[in-house]
Chain A
Amino acid sequence: GQQVMQIPQYQHVQEGEDFTTYCNSSTTLSNIQWYKQRPGGHPVFLIQLVKSGEVKKQKRLTFQFGEAKKNSSLHITATQTTDVGTYFCAGPKRGYKLSFGAGTTVTVRA
């Protein structure tokens, strides 16, 4: 099974609202990466978090790595239609492989 679990699987958001998606692991992660896949597209790397408690922002997106390095979150403020897509987190698994979560698929109501 996958090492990282993402919740929720689906997120339906009203345009302009905020939402958060979560990534959880049963084991400590050395780092975590986030990717975005637009409908019909391919995953695109967004960010990598390495330090305990690290917070990074990209415009309206805020990424956080938990203090215990077992969870991470992505918070989007003032959701726009351009935010539509599936957001994946990925953590290391058995050395240098990445294990991807199942993703959170975001739809936006205009």
Chain B
Amino acid sequence: DGGITQSPKYLFRKEGQNVTLSCEQNLNHDAMYWYRQDPGQGLRLIYYSQIVNDFQKGDIAEGYSVSREKKESFPLTVTSAQKNPTAFYLCASSVTGGLEPQHFGDGTRLSIL
């Protein structure tokens, strides 16, 4: 079955530590996205990529970094500069990056130790 795989499901970070969240898709979609979800705030866009080797900042990119070296993969690094990283992180993809439906992974829940 085609889909989006996020790993790990749960992640714990120590103060001052960078962590990388994995997102892999086998849907052959061009566009991929990272969202952060906090209670009562819906989904906020961190970064998105419409094509390999290109990505754009979303609404809350500070303290995060991404890469898109392969079409299937869009890892997100939460750096130590992100002062409040505890949240649920969702990766999504869509066919071309236009206004079409997005498909989501199961998410990674990040907590601070």
A and B: partners?
yes
Binding site for B on A (CB under 8 A): 2, 9, 30-31, 33, 41-45, 48, 88, 92, 96-98, 100-103
Q: Are A42 and B107 in contact (CB under 8 A)?
A: yes
Chain B 40-78 per-residue mask, 1 if CB under 8 angstroms from chain A, else 0: 111111001010000000100000000000000000000
Binding site for A on B (CB under 8 A): 35, 40-45, 48, 50, 58, 90, 92, 97-107
Q: Are A44 and B102 in contact (CB under 8 A)?
A: no
- Chain A residues contacting B106 (CB-CB under 8 Å) are 41-42
Give the distance in Å from the alpha carbon of A103 to the alpha carbon of B90 in the complex. 16
- Chain A residues contacting B103 (CB-CB under 8 Å) are 45
Give the distance in Å from the alpha carbon of A100 to the alpha carbon of B104 in the complex. 14
- Chain A residues contacting B98 (CB-CB under 8 Å) are 96
The answer to whether residues A33 and B101 also contact, given A9-B40, A43-B43 and a CB cut-off of 8 A, is yes
Which residue of chain B is the closest to A88 with respect to CB atoms?
A: B42
B105 to chain A, nearest CB (A): 6
- Chain A residues contacting B50 (CB-CB under 8 Å) are 96
B45 to chain A, nearest CB (A): 6
